Structure 1
Amino acid sequence: MKAIALFSGGLDSTLAMKLIIDQGIDVLAVNISTGFGSTKDRLEHMQNMCNQVGAELKIIDIQSEFLQDVLFDPKHGYGKNFNPCIDCHAKMFAVAKRIMEAEGASFLISGEVMGQRPMSQNKEALQTVLNESNCDGLLLRPMSAKMLKPTIAEIEGWVDREKLEGITGRSRDRQLELAKEIGLADFESPGGGCLLTDENFGKKMFDFIKYDKFEVKDIPVMKFGRHLRLSDGAKLVVGRNKEENGYLQDIENDKFFHAKTVGIPGPHALLSKDAGDADRELATKIILSYTKADPKKVYTISYDGVEQKGSPFETREEANKFNVL
């Protein structure tokens, strides 16, 4: 017997897998990447969690499918920010069902806890996701199973319902107790996980689509730096520290110039390739304003090798007026 787990790397999905593995069922942990999961690479952490409970890990990239089918026209709308949680979950379950069929597995599991997130994990929302993904009966939620109607796996006797949990609400006490019982180490503290639920990230997304078509290659651009919208509509992204400069430097996106200071230390930046002369001059002033450059002197910024001269604003506050956030 084999099950496919929708695996986030978090405590709940790790414990859900353990509850099923302990009943003698093989579990394939599937992490479905929309591209908006995190600014950090969590592969090592996810592999560690899977190793501790005895599950195999598989990463599935659905970035293109997610943008095309879900992100910009969610049937069930957005949450507080740019987060189409119900439609996103339904898409993930539909993808997991495809994998289940391809792998010859018998059912799906997830770490969702009823009531943990009031909007996307109430009883009605949990059922909506099943209906939308055609997974009703196939998806077992081990953490809240005793509070939900029995699934095929329980009815058929593949899984003993009595050995599952009946957790509801936002308290983490029972999860922490279970983690201690099985000796689970290095698990993450609970967090949003998805960048689309973040208010500031949402503002950057709404600003981007106001001016441009959003594509898969634009996802990395959104994750790092200070985002500014210039007077004539060009987009400027300026690294805020050494780590962000490194990430921005590695981005390959033909919509943007890579901009860097010449002769003085400064941030790495990205500027829309369709920026006009006025916006390029403004970008130069802004980038220099995030250096120690003297407003009375002239400096050079290289835009993919094309040099532009300029001076910084007198104060950073003048540059900050163009911030998207």
Structure 2
Amino acid sequence: MKAIALFSGGLDSTLALKLIIDQGIEVLAVNINTGFGSTKDRYEHMLNLCKQVGAELRIIDIESEFLQDVLFDPKHGYGKNFNPCIDCHAKMFAVAKRVMEAEGASFLISGEVLGQRPMSQNKEAMQTVLNESNCNGLLLRPLSAKALAPTIAEINGWVDREKLEGIVGRSRDRQLELVEEIGLKDFESPGGGCLLTDENFAKKMFDFIKHDTFEVRDIPVMKYGRHLRLPDGAKLVVGRNRDENVHLQNIVNEKYYHIKTLGLPGPHSLLSKSATEADKELAAKIILTYCKTKEDTAYKLSLDEKEEIEATPFASRDELKPYTIM
């Protein structure tokens, strides 16, 4: 007997794995990458948790499919920000079902808890996800199983329903008891989850689609730096710290210039290649305003290490507010 688990790397999905593995069932933990999960590489963290509970980990990239099918025209709309949670979950379950069929597995599991998230984890929303993904009866939610209708795995006796949980609501007390019982280490505290649920990230997304067609190659651009929109329409991204500078420096996207300061330490920045000369000059002034500079001194910056531009910084960062998205 084999099951496919939707695995986020969070505590709930890890406990769901353990509850099924403890019943003698082989579990493949599938982490589905939409591109918007995190700004950090969580592979080692996820691998560690899977090793602790005895599951195999597999990462499946659906960035292109997610943009094409879900992000910009969700059938069930968005949440508070740019988050099409119901459509996203349905897409993930549909992908997991494809994996299940390819692997010869018998059912699916997830770490969802009934009532933990009022909008996307109420009974109606959870049933909608099953209907949309054609997973009705196939998906077992081990942490809330006793509070939900029996699934095929329970009805057929593949899984002992009495050994599952009936957790409902936002309290984590029972999950923490299970952590102690199994000796789980290095798990994450509940976090913000998908970037699309973040208000500031949503602002960047809404601004982007007003000016450009969003593509897979644009996802890394959205994850790092301060984002500004200049008067003639160019997008400027300015690194906020060393880690962000490294990420921005490694981005390969033909839509953008890579801008560096010359002769003084400064942030790594990206600027739309469609930028007018006026926007280029303004971008240079903005970038210099985030450096340790003298107000009336001109400095040079390079665009793709081919073109140089000279500018003076603004007197105050307050002057950048009209252009700042977040």
The answer to whether TM tops 0.5 is yes
Q: Name the structure 1 match of 2:260.
A: 260
Q: Name the structure 2 match of 1:214.
A: 214
Q: Name the structure 1 match of 2:24.
A: 24
Q: How does 1:60-209 map to 2 (within 5 A)?
A: 60-209=60-209
Q: What is the CA deviation profile of residues 90-122 of structure 1, one whole-angstrom value per residue up to 9, with x for unaligned ones?
A: 000000000000000000000000000000000
| CA distance in structure 2 between the partners assigned to 1:93 and 1:42 by the alignment | 21
Q: How does 1:36-55 map to 2 (within 5 A)?
A: 36-55=36-55
| CA distance in structure 2 between the partners assigned to 1:163 and 1:221 by the alignment | 45
Residue type at the aligned position of 2:271? L
| CA distance in structure 1 between the partners assigned to 2:268 and 2:160 by the alignment | 56
Residue 294 of structure 1: how far off its partner (Å): 1.2
**2:317 counterpart of 1:308:** no
Q: What is the CA deviation profile of residues 262-321 of structure 1, one whole-angstrom value per residue up to 9, with x for unaligned ones?
A: 111111000000000110010010001101111211111101120011100111111233
SS in 1 for 2:323: coil
Residue type at the aligned position of 1:306? E
SS in 2 for 1:17: helix
| CA distance in structure 1 between the partners assigned to 2:147 and 2:291 by the alignment | 57
Residue type at the aligned position of 1:268? H
| CA distance in structure 2 between the partners assigned to 1:87 and 1:123 by the alignment | 15
SS in 2 for 1:57: strand
| CA distance in structure 2 between the partners assigned to 1:295 and 1:229 by the alignment | 23
Residue type at the aligned position of 2:142? P
| CA distance in structure 1 between the partners assigned to 2:299 and 2:64 by the alignment | 41
Q: What is the CA deviation profile of residues 153-197 of structure 1, one whole-angstrom value per residue up to 9, with x for unaligned ones?
A: 000000000000000000000000001100000000001220000
**2:299 counterpart of 1:285:** no
Q: What is the CA deviation profile of residues 2-43 of structure 1, one whole-angstrom value per residue up to 9, with x for unaligned ones?
A: 000000000000000100000000000000000000000000
| CA distance in structure 2 between the partners assigned to 1:245 and 1:191 by the alignment | 24
Q: What is the CA deviation profile of residues 196-249 of structure 1, one whole-angstrom value per residue up to 9, with x for unaligned ones?
A: 000000000000000000000000000000000001110000001111111100
Residue 66 of structure 1: how far off its partner (Å): 0.1
Residue type at the aligned position of 2:244? E
TM-score, length-scaled by structure 1: 0.99
| CA distance in structure 2 between the partners assigned to 1:315 and 1:50 by the alignment | 49
Residue type at the aligned position of 1:212? D
Residue type at the aligned position of 1:316? R
Q: Name the structure 1 match of 2:324.
A: 323
Aligned length: 325
Residue ranges of structure 2 left out of the alignment (5+ in a row): none
Residue type at the aligned position of 1:163? K
Q: What is the CA deviation profile of residues 105-155 of structure 1, one whole-angstrom value per residue up to 9, with x for unaligned ones?
A: 000000000000000000000000000000000000000000000000000
TM-score, length-scaled by structure 2: 0.99
Residue type at the aligned position of 1:320? K
* Aligned-CA RMSD value: 0.5
Residue ranges of structure 1 left out of the alignment (5+ in a row): none
Q: Give the fraction of aligned pairs with identical amino acids, expressed as a percent.
A: 78
| CA distance in structure 1 between the partners assigned to 2:216 and 2:35 by the alignment | 8
SS in 1 for 2:136: coil
Q: Name the structure 1 match of 2:3.
A: 3
Residue type at the aligned position of 1:226? R
| CA distance in structure 2 between the partners assigned to 1:127 and 1:192 by the alignment | 24
